[in-house]
Amino acid sequence: MKKVIKIAAVSLLGLAFSVAHADENAIRQALGKAMPSVTVGAVKPSEISGLYEVTVGGNIVYVSDDGKYLIQGHLVDVAARTDLTEEKLGGARKQALEKLGQDKMIVFKPKTSKYTVSIFTDIDCGYCRKLHSEIDQYMAEGITVQYLFFPRAGKGSDSYHKAVSVWCADDRKAALTAAKKGDTPPAKTCVNPVDEHMQLAEDFEVKGTPMIVTEKGNIFPGYLPAKQLAEALADEQGKK
C-alpha cells in the first residue's frame, strides 16, 4: 500500500512539473509573438494560482497560465501588509544592471569603496548637476557612482546628443563633468550604450532624474546629499 501511495505521489509530482513547464512554454510563446522586441527572463508561478511571475528586463509582470492576459502592477499580501513585487524587483534590477556591465557606465570610484550606486542621470537636469557638483563628497563617503544616461526629453533631443557626445569623448569623466557645468560637449558619435540605458530606465519605470539604484536593487528617487545617502546605504547593509 505504501509503495502504491509513493508511486502515486511521484506521478502527481511529475504531472505538476510537466503542466508547469507547459504553462511556461505557452507564456514565452505568447509574449514572444505579441511583443517580439521584449526579452523574457525568468517565468515562475506567482503566489496566486494560475498567475505566473515573469521577469522582463528589470521589471516584473504577471501573466495568465495560457499567456493570454498580462497584468502590470504590484502584488500585495494584504494580511502581511507586504509588497511582494517590490521585494522581488530589487533582485531583478540588480541582475539587469549586472548584465549591462560596468564597462557600459561612466564610473567615479573612490580609493576605498564601501558602497556602489547606479544613478540614472540627465545632463540638463538641475538636481543631477547639483549631485555631480558634489561628487567629491560622495567619494569621501566611500560611494562608487556608476552613471547611466536617461535624457528625459527622449531620443534625438539635445540632452540625448550630449549624452552620446560625452560617451564618445576621449575622457568620458572629464567630458561629463564639463557638461554638468553647462558646457556643450563637442559633437561626436560612436558605438554607445545610451539607448540601452534608456531601455533599462523604462524597465525600471524611471519617472525623473536623478534616480539612485543601490547594490541590492532598491531605489532612492531624487537627489540625496552624500552623508544622507551613505547613512541610507549603511542601513541597507545592516551596518547601523
Catalytic residue among 128, 129, 168, 203: 128
**Among residues 23, 65, 93, 122, which one is catalytic?**
122
Domains and CATH numbers, the chain: 2-73 (3.10.450), 101-236 (3.40.30.10)
Query: 125, 129, 168, 203: which is the annotated catalytic residue?
Result: 125
Residues 6+ apart with CB under 8 A from 86: 74
Q: What is the mean pLDDT of the chain?
A: 88
Measured torsion, CA atoms of residues 88, 215, 211, 224, in degrees rounded to the nearest 10: 120
Minimal CA–CA distance to 212: which of 112, 111, 124, 143?
143
Residue 92, pLDDT score: 87
The reply to whether 128 belongs to the active site is: yes
Per-residue pLDDT of 191-218, as tens digits, reads 999 999 999 999 888 989 999 999 999 9
Q: Where are the alpha helices (DSSP H) in 111-212?
A: 126-133, 135-140, 158-168, 172-180, 194-203
The pLDDT of residue 38 is above 80: no
Contact 119, 148 (CB under 8 A): yes
Which residue in the list 23, 124, 152, 168 is annotated as catalytic? 152
Please indicate whether residue 28 is annotated as part of the active site: no
- Going by pLDDT thresholds of 50, 70 and 90, the confidence category of residue 173 is very high
Tell me: pLDDT of 115 over 50.
Answer: yes
- Separation CA 19–CA 192 (nearest Å): 43
